[in-house]
A and B are shown apart, each in its own frame.
Chain A
Amino acid sequence: MAFRIEVLSLLILASLGIYDGIRMTKVPLPNPDPVGPGWYLFIVSGMLFLCVILYLFIEKSRRRLLVIAEKKIRTFSFSINTLGWMLIVLVGYTLATPRIGYIPATAFFFVLTLHILGIRSWPRSILLGLVFTVVFKLLFSDLAGVSLP
């Protein structure tokens, strides 16, 4: 399944490049350009397409080995909960920062990630999260002059 998604994604990407490359070959250019932005993209995407097809055939012929490899991946120590929660918190943090501001969003983010990653005591997570937020604000914004969202 993962292999099919991988190949399909790459083929879609290559097709997008081929499509846009062809579109751009028709765009008039200010200066004569033998390759132009369109043909260059078309050639790169076309090469990608061919390589992915080649990869598909080679991997198909190794199907038996692939099944073994995928089994190996499945037996790998796996805790989807931690990873899943981490991803949710990261996406939430990125969405929340421009809306509620850097400091509150960062404080929430630190508290939640500390908790997810193993600091089970909420008071400790909150305390550490707040300390980290203050340190980040002082270090990056006040001391180094980095602009924060």
Chain B
Amino acid sequence: MGIGLLEGFVHALSPISLFYCFLGALLGTIVGVLPGLGPAATMAILLPMISHVPPTGSIIMLAGIYYGAMYGGSTTSILMNVPGEAASAVTCLDGFEMTKQGRAGEALAISAIGSFIAGTGGVVLLSFAGPILADFALTFGPPEYFGLVLFGLTTLLSFSGRQILKGVIAGLVGIMLACVGLDPVSGKARLVFGISEFLSGVNIIPILMGLFGLAEVLASAEEGIASIYKGKLGRFLPRGEEMRKGIMASLRGTIAGLILGLLPGMISSLVTFIVYDIEKRISKYPERFGKGVIEGVASPEAANNATAQAGFIPLIAMGIPTAPIFGILLAALMMYGLTPGPLLFTQHGEFVWTVIASMYLGNMMLLILNLPLVALWARLCLIPYRILAPLILGICFVGAYSLRNNMFDVWTSLCFGVLGLLMRKRNWPIPPLILGVILGDMFEQNLRASLQLSAGSLIIFFQRPIALTFVVLSVVSVLVSRKLWAKEAKG
């Protein structure tokens, strides 16, 4: 394996491989920064065009687009409070607050550093323990997933701050919203009331753009804000204690993201919510979360990237795509007659190790590419708001429309923008609503699938060790939340 990796580096360092790697990373960063064009769409568009490129170059480039987009995805969340994807929603909470305090540079830099740590951690894991870990991931069935989602849902207690009941209500509204459309199991229409647009359900991205981006612009317009930040910009790189805190949080986020990212069907947004909650719980100052702490950016960003990178493990080691984007990569591999799985390492060793080695290089390229841009991006917050606000609204409009090419998503975004404004004014916590929408589907599907397995008996969640562990963790999480509320009440 060591020799394979060394040989992989030799091939990955060839000018043509480096070119494809750089091109993928650059395209990915652009795609990540621009809302509306996700990495999956970019890869799907590029797939037919790159069929004449050698398989190694092609896969290196496609992988680069994916993890490059993960790097770039946080930029609009931090600078404009506009999350381009569900996983970046958590980054808005502290990232945009840091921007308001003139610390956009620090937030962007720690996000890039955290992404680098997570990306590299993921490749190391892929190189040394990929197949073993992929086997473990397959032991997860519906009861285990249900336990995990239940644990994820308990985080809404800590996202509710002092408004626990409001948080629970918002979470339930979110779960109800996730029920709109065709029932995933039976295919029957639910909460549709004869409106055909409701059949395909509500998409999370327009909701996020509304609740964060649009609501922010409307609130700022009402308050007559001149610019996101006034005054001299702070450092562009965190230093000393801040850097240490950021790196430690990134490491914690990386570990959680790598473990959870291996699970098929795992959504990185759930992972980011869980790691943010953990970070808040173990912090000495939980009351400062949501007001611009560096750990609140570093940990979810690292977890997001680690989840993305970990998805390569089941794909390469077992041929299992854990997310739609890996389905495209799988299609690309099949296009070249390469069947992922344990035999890929033995039959096409050179190819696999070159791709893995290029991921090390790609992560380094992304760090080199992103850090110098920090100073440039950070200056965006100094632009007068009367000029920036229309641009943010325009971006939200394009981002919402381009997801499914329909105006219904734009209306959804607009309605949730107004709802977000009203929620802010009436002191309703927004993250629990988002958490409910994101996890509602997964929660229902796994609950129902588990109960189908056990013929309706809840005992199934207590018979399987992993599921039981998550159920116990959920109870502990609720109990521990009481401590957190007391601390927040003091803060």
- Residue B183 at the chain A interface, CB threshold 8 Å: yes
Scan B211-223; emit 1 where CB is below 8 A from any A CB, else 0: 0001001100111
- Are A78 and B45 also in contact (CB < 8 A) when A27-B188, A35-B451, A51-B169 are? no
Smallest CB-CB separation from B385: which chain A residue? A117
Q: Are the C-beta atoms of B191 and A20 separated by less than 8 Å?
A: yes
Scan B163-176; emit 1 where CB is below 8 A from any A CB, else 0: 00110110011011
Scan A76-109; emit 1 where CB is below 8 A from any B CB, else 0: 0111101100110011011001100000001001
- Are A146 and B398 also in contact (CB < 8 A) when A31-B186, A44-B172 are? yes
Expressed in whole angstroms, the Cα–Cα distance for A47 and B153 within the complex equals: 15
- Are A44 and B218 also in contact (CB < 8 A) when A31-B186, A91-B414, A97-B407 are? no
List residues of chain B with CB within 8 A of the CB of A116: 221
Q: Are the C-beta atoms of B394 and A106 separated by less than 8 Å?
A: yes
| Chain A min CB distance to B95 (Å) | 23
- Residue B240 at the chain A interface, CB threshold 8 Å: no
Within 8 A of A (CB), among B94-112: none
| Chain A min CB distance to B221 (Å) | 5
List residues of chain A with CB within 8 A of the CB of B456: 34-35
- Residue B386 at the chain A interface, CB threshold 8 Å: yes
| Chain B min CB distance to A66 (Å) | 11
Q: Are the C-beta atoms of B425 and A73 separated by less than 8 Å?
A: yes
Q: Are the C-beta atoms of B386 and A118 separated by less than 8 Å?
A: yes
Expressed in whole angstroms, the Cα–Cα distance for A140 and B402 within the complex equals: 10
Q: Are the C-beta atoms of B398 and A148 separated by less than 8 Å?
A: yes
List residues of chain B with CB within 8 A of the CB of A82: 221-222, 224
List residues of chain B with CB within 8 A of the CB of A144: 30-31, 34, 36-37
| Chain B min CB distance to A84 (Å) | 9
CB contacts between A and B, total, < 8 Å: 164
Smallest CB-CB separation from A141: which chain B residue? B398
Smallest CB-CB separation from A39: which chain B residue? B448
Main secondary structure of the interface of A (DSSP, over half): helix
List residues of chain B with CB within 8 A of the CB of A44: 172, 175-176, 179
Q: Are the C-beta atoms of B386 and A119 separated by less than 8 Å?
A: yes
Which of A10, A106, A110, A148 sits near B173, CB closer than 8 Å? Answer: A10
Q: Are the C-beta atoms of A37 and B391 separated by less than 8 Å?
A: no
Q: Are the C-beta atoms of B186 and A29 separated by less than 8 Å?
A: yes
Within 8 A of B (CB), among A1-47: 2, 6, 10, 13-14, 16-17, 20, 24, 27, 29-37, 40-41, 44-45, 47
* Max chain A Cβ within 10 angstroms of own Cβ: one of B45, B191, B223: B191
List residues of chain A with CB within 8 A of the CB of B169: 10, 48, 51-52, 55
Scan B396-408; emit 1 where CB is below 8 A from any A CB, else 0: 0110011001010
- Residue A54 at the chain B interface, CB threshold 8 Å: yes
Q: Are the C-beta atoms of B166 and A55 separated by less than 8 Å?
A: yes
Range, interface on chain A: 35 or more
Expressed in whole angstroms, the Cα–Cα distance for A13 and B436 within the complex equals: 15
List residues of chain B with CB within 8 A of the CB of A27: 186, 188
| Chain B min CB distance to A144 (Å) | 5
List residues of chain A with CB within 8 A of the CB of B186: 27, 29-31, 33, 36-37
Expressed in whole angstroms, the Cα–Cα distance for A123 and B148 within the complex equals: 57
List residues of chain B with CB within 8 A of the CB of A36: 186, 448
Q: Are the C-beta atoms of B191 and A16 separated by less than 8 Å?
A: yes
- Residue B387 at the chain A interface, CB threshold 8 Å: yes
- Residue A67 at the chain B interface, CB threshold 8 Å: no
Q: Are the C-beta atoms of A17 and B179 separated by less than 8 Å?
A: yes
Q: Are the C-beta atoms of B218 and A87 separated by less than 8 Å?
A: yes
Expressed in whole angstroms, the Cα–Cα distance for A60 and B439 within the complex equals: 32
Within 8 A of B (CB), among A95-137: 97-98, 106, 109-110, 113-114, 116-119, 128-129, 132, 136
Which of B36, B224, B394, B447 sits near A40, CB closer than 8 Å? Answer: B447
Expressed in whole angstroms, the Cα–Cα distance for A45 and B169 within the complex equals: 10
List residues of chain A with CB within 8 A of the CB of B393: 90, 109, 113
Which of B191, B447, B451 sits near A41, CB closer than 8 Å? Answer: B191
| Chain A min CB distance to B45 (Å) | 6
- Are A94 and B389 also in contact (CB < 8 A) when A33-B448, A147-B405 are? no
Expressed in whole angstroms, the Cα–Cα distance for A109 and B396 within the complex equals: 13
- Residue B283 at the chain A interface, CB threshold 8 Å: no
| Chain A min CB distance to B371 (Å) | 24
- Residue B411 at the chain A interface, CB threshold 8 Å: yes
Expressed in whole angstroms, the Cα–Cα distance for A30 and B394 within the complex equals: 45
| Chain A min CB distance to B97 (Å) | 19
Expressed in whole angstroms, the Cα–Cα distance for A97 and B405 within the complex equals: 13
| Chain B min CB distance to A74 (Å) | 11
Q: Are the C-beta atoms of B166 and A149 separated by less than 8 Å?
A: no
Q: Are the C-beta atoms of A37 and B176 separated by less than 8 Å?
A: no
List residues of chain B with CB within 8 A of the CB of A34: 448, 451-452, 455-456
Not counting A33-B185, A128-B387, A140-B402, a sample of 20 additional A-B residue pairs whose C-beta atoms are within 8 angstroms of each other reads: A24-B190, A27-B188, A34-B452, A35-B456, A40-B444, A45-B176, A48-B176, A51-B165, A51-B168, A54-B165, A83-B222, A86-B221, A90-B393, A113-B389, A113-B390, A129-B390, A144-B30, A145-B37, A146-B402, A147-B405
**A and B contact pairs by CB, cutoff 8 A, 19 listed:** A10-B173, A17-B176, A30-B186, A31-B186, A35-B447, A37-B183, A37-B190, A41-B191, A47-B172, A55-B165, A82-B221, A83-B221, A87-B218, A91-B414, A97-B410, A98-B407, A129-B390, A145-B45, A149-B407
On B, residues with C-beta under 8 Å from A are 30-31, 34, 36-37, 45, 165-166, 168-169, 172-173, 175-176, 179, 183, 185-186, 188, 190-191, 193, 214, 217-218, 221-224, 384-387, 389-391, 393-394, 397-398, 401-402, 405, 407, 410-411, 414, 417-418, 425-426, 444, 447-448, 451-452, 455-456
